[in-house]
Amino acid sequence: MSRKNINDEDYKLTGSLGRAVYWSVAAEVIFSALVVLFFVFRNEFWWILLIGFGIYTGIFIYIITAVKRNMLNDMLKFSARYSQVQNKLLKELNIPYCILDQKGKVLWLNRAMAEIADVDFNFNKNIATILKEITPNVFPKANELAEIEVKHEDKIYRAEIENVSKIGNNFITIYLYDITEVTKVEQKLKDNSFAAAVIDIDNYEDVVESTDDLSQSVVSGIIEKKIYDYFAGSGSFVRRLEKDRFIAIFRNVDLIGFMKDKFSILEDVKSVELKNDMTLTLSIGVGTGFENYEKCYEVAKDALEIALGRGGDQAVVKDDEKQYYFGGKSQQGETNTRVKVRVKAHALRKILESKERVIIMGHKFPDMDAFGAAVGLYCFADELGTKTHIVVNDLSAGIEPFYERLKGREEYKEDMFIDSETAIELADSSTVVIVVDVNRPEMTDCPEILETAGSKIVFDHHRTGDNPIKGVVLSHVDTFASSSSEIITELMQFSNLDIKLKGTEADALYAGIVIDTDNFNTKAGPRTFEAAAYLRRNGADVSRVRKLLRSDMSEYRSIAKAVHNAEVYKGEYALSVFECDEKENSTVGCAKAANVLLDISGIKASFVVTERESKVYVSARSIDEVNVQLVMERLGGGGHLGTAGAQLEGCTTEEAIEKIKETLDEMIKEGEI
């Protein structure tokens, strides 16, 4: 600071020094008051006080006028020397330290940081050239602290990053703490902790029933050997629990190996040759990341249920944070589920008879399958005399004709259809909520009532994904079924209730099956035709349904335009954008366009996107060569092998198409498709 810039303000006394001077002034005042008092009352010692007061005043004046500035100068010099010592200590600190600007450019670094980076003290490049993990996007807000893990050469560091705001400027300070040894110990403990797996032979009963007695033991022995060889080869503990179920206990480091080879046993077991030309498949559930072994086993059983709910022939690894899926590429054969359906129908009847009210809902923007299944369940519950409502918030062109045929008719109650607000008011502990055609809470038409309802039931035909509806008392997720309408039709067939469907109700269920099977062209097995025959016997009219499902001219032109503008990617995948004037009907037309594209020779899968209410909806379809459900899961959606979808936010339709291409490229590279 130059002399000309120094003024009295620069020498203001503050802190402890200021208080000392102020107390001296106070003592001066008290001293002078005593002298006056002694003089007034003629005390003989007043002159002694006067002399002392004079001496004290002289010293005080000298300090204020002569010494003050010298004292402050001495203090400033001491402060400068202290700052130099502090700077030297920081520079020689064993902990790597540096100061950056807001763009990440190095302004200053100490010796330890320079040694790590192998640079000199004049280094002024971006910190990312040394530590690639430290970029401006990880910098915290002003006066906040953030921690990230960074790697450099063979070392691992915990970086403490602080955004320091001083004198109108912001600087980034970084400390690095070497956690290499700690990380190695943690990783060793993690690698040596145990995981539990439950292995289930999906179609064991079917294989046994169609195999002679001699071959049964041979097949059983071959499967057991393959399972033991695969898991026990790494030192795992493997035991048979039941004739079609095994348990395996192994270390996490072995689990990493299983995940890297994508549980190759799933494909290996299919190579077992059976005389009846059937193919054996496995489902595997793995629980890991828990200190309690019993908890790992329970989580493994939950993971197995998810694998089975997704159609089997796959492995699901579940830890405390997320789930990982392996396999599940093939289309599974249809199974005979009449006994299971009869048990589920009986359980449903018992639950409904014990409740005062039933609320049925599907997914947001319900399609014909969700609507038809809801109508079927309404008939089931109404037969038992339980108060029943169906939640419908949005009407698409696809369901509107069927809705209008039911709404306001004398044989139906006025509150047959309700909106979400009414459903929230009605739902309480005596209410059972039945969810159809969806198994994720955030995708239901009214997620709020799932929290207040006394019981929850799920009927769906889509593969179970992450975050399924929790706490259900009855779940029937049948991925072998063509549609949810087929599942509900079977429930009515085997319920032992004398349910008499009206033509309008049978039409709704039949239309749901027709839409989800693309007019019986996709995933239509014997069960599908049996359900359709049951509905025909109960008054479903094929011609009437066909008329109600027809597209109007505007929608048909939009579908034709989407097909005309479709891009064939890599010679096998059709991608297009569906555009129509009536946005509320865009998702239905989008699905129809995806179905039409599959009729083109050489197309393995079709992906059509459309925009509705600030979201981009994706409809994915395939016949039997590509599992589009796996593709949609990468985009946050789901479905099943031949029919799937996803909802994307924060992007345009063009960007959505690019995301689909990138996903296809990744999966082709990884061998997933």
According to DSSP, the residues that pair with 574 across neighbouring strands are: 568, 606
Distance, in Å, from the CA atom of 293 to the CA atom of 200, rounded to the nearest integer, reads 20
Q: How far is CA 337 from CA 314, 463, 474, 491, 657, in A?
A: 20, 17, 16, 11, 39
- Tokens 């190759």: give the residue: 264
Terminal-to-terminal C-alpha distance of the chain:
72
Q: Give the largest Cα separation in the chain, rounded.
A: 135
DSSP states along 546-582:
HHHHPPPHHHHHHHHHHHHT-EEETTTEEEEE---S-
Q: In one letter, which amino acid is 512?
A: G
| Contact criterion met (CB below 8 Å) for 478 and 458 | no
Q: What is the DSSP string of 454-477?
A: SEEEEEE-SPP-SSPPPS-SEEEE
Closest CA to 572 of 479, 661, 504, 632: 661
Handedness of CA 235, 236, 239, 245 (dihedral sign): negative
Reduced to 3 states (helix: H, G, I; strand: E, B; else coil), residue 514 is: helix
User: How remote is the C-alpha of 497 from its chain's centroid?
Assistant: 41
Side chain identity at residue 83, one-letter code: S
- Per DSSP, helices labelled H in 384-448 are 400-406, 420-426
Confidence at residue 225, expressed as pLDDT on a 0 to 100 scale:
86
Do β-strands 474-477 and 455-460 pair in parallel, antiparallel, or remain unpaired? Answer: parallel
Torsion of CA 363, 369, 372, 376, to 10 degrees: -90
Collapse the DSSP code of 201 into the 3-class scheme (helix H, G, I; strand E, B; otherwise coil) and give the result: strand
Written as six digits, the tokens of 237 are: 């503990």
- The answer to whether 404 and 416 are in contact (CB under 8 A) is no
Q: What is the pLDDT of residue 518?
A: 80
pLDDT digits (tens, 9 = 90+) for 195-208: 889 998 877 777 66
pTM > 0.75: no
Mapped onto helix, strand or coil, the DSSP state of residue 278 is: coil
- State the DSSP code for 334: P
At 9 the pLDDT is 47
Domain annotation for the chain: domains and CATH numbers: 3-91 (no CATH), 97-183 (3.30.450.20), 193-327 (3.30.70.270), 338-549 (3.90.1640.10), 555-670 (3.10.310.30)
98 Rama sector, left if φ>0, alpha if ψ -120 to 50, beta otherwise: beta
> Within the chain, which residues score under 50 in pLDDT?
1-11, 333
Q: Alpha carbon of 432 to those of 360, 474, 587: distances in Å?
A: 9, 11, 30
